[in-house]
């Protein structure tokens, strides 16, 4: 999308246009982007090296419904080093997402989940996916919304791995955070996600193979 179309048509652009006056923030918009998310996310991490910031990595098909969403980010980062909306309290070998235990898309047990997110085309056409109580420590987070302090990433030499494009970058960075013995958790921030993911596509399976090759399980 062009910048104009982003604000006019995208879920994120429409919601940010309304929310921006409430709590100021800097938007790093990559219009008409065709690069993988890790590439553009890392460019923002690099830019924040001499300008410590709270970074929020967010998809453009997300409608933010929470008037005080940035306050929620601030509160969540007082407890966790990497913050998300939904996640899993455990990590299993060969797990294919935060929600599935294998590449056949078998759901994990509900007691292992944390967080709440909406799915649909916006208000009022959405449903609530209540996976579990938010505010809990997790081992894996969904990459639809990730927040952290830039200084945490620089201090521990954590960046998104650019071997991934649009799949598995989230699981990979969670593994990095876990390896550095940092804390991850979910937080109650109300959003509606327009997409359910592209699980099982050829690009997804290629990234899954790369993920397993990198981490071994």
Choose between 86 and 23: higher pLDDT.
Answer: 86
If DSSP codes are grouped into helix, strand and coil, which group holds residue 151? helix
Domain 3-215 = CATH 3.90.550.10: yes
137 in Cβ contact with 80 (< 8 Å) = yes
Name residues whose C-beta falls within 8 Å of residue 21's C-beta, 6 or more positions apart in sequence.
none
Q: Please give the structure tokens belonging to residue 84.
A: 């998300």
Predicted confidence at residue 14, as pLDDT, reads 94
Q: How confident is the model at residue 200 (pLDDT cuts 50, 70, 90)?
A: confident
Confidence (pLDDT) at 199: 85
Q: Is the pLDDT of residue 104 over 90?
A: yes
Look at residue 22 in the predicted model and tell me its pLDDT: 79
Percent of the chain with pLDDT over 90: 91
Q: How confident is the model at residue 196 (pLDDT cuts 50, 70, 90)?
A: confident
Rounded mean pLDDT, 110-126 = 94
Q: What is the pLDDT of residues 120-174, one digit of tens each?
A: 988 889 999 999 999 999 999 999 999 999 999 999 999 999 999 999 999 999 9
Where are the domains positioned within the chain?
3-215
Cα separation, 36 vs 57, in Å, equals 13
pLDDT of res. 115? 98
Task: For residue 210, count CB atoms less than 10 angstroms from its CB and return exposed for 0-12, middle for 13-18, buried for 19 or more.
Answer: middle
- Condensed to tens digits (0 to 9), the pLDDT of residues 3-62 reads 999 999 999 999 998 888 877 789 999 999 999 999 999 999 999 999 999 999 999 999
pLDDT tens for residues 173-188? 999 999 999 999 999 9
């Amino acid at each position: 999308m062009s910048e104009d179309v982003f604000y006019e048509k995208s879920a994120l652009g429409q919601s940010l246009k309304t929310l921006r006056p409430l709590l100021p923030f800097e938007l790093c918009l990559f219009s008409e982007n065709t690069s993988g998310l890790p590439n553009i996310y890392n460019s923002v991490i690099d830019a924040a090296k001499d300008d410590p910031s709270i970074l929020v990595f967010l998809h453009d098909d997300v409608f933010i419904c929470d008037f005080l969403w940035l306050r929620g980010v601030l509160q969540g980062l007082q407890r966790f080093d990497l913050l998300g909306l939904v996640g899993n309290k455990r990590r299993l070998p060969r797990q294919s997402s935060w929600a599935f235990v294998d590449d056949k898309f078998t759901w994990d047990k509900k007691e292992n989940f944390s967080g709440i997110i909406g799915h649909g085309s916006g208000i009022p056409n959405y449903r609530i996916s209540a996976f579990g109580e938010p505010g809990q420590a997790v081992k894996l987070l969904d990459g639809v919304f990730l927040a952290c302090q830039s200084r945490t990433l620089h201090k521990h030499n954590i960046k998104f791995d650019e071997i991934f494009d649009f799949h598995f970058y989230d699981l990979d960075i969670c593994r990095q955070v876990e390896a550095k013995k940092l804390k991850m958790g979910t937080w109650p921030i109300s959003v509606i996600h327009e997409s359910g993911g592209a699980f099982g596509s050829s690009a997804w399976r290629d990234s899954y193979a790369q993920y397993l090759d990198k981490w071994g399980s």
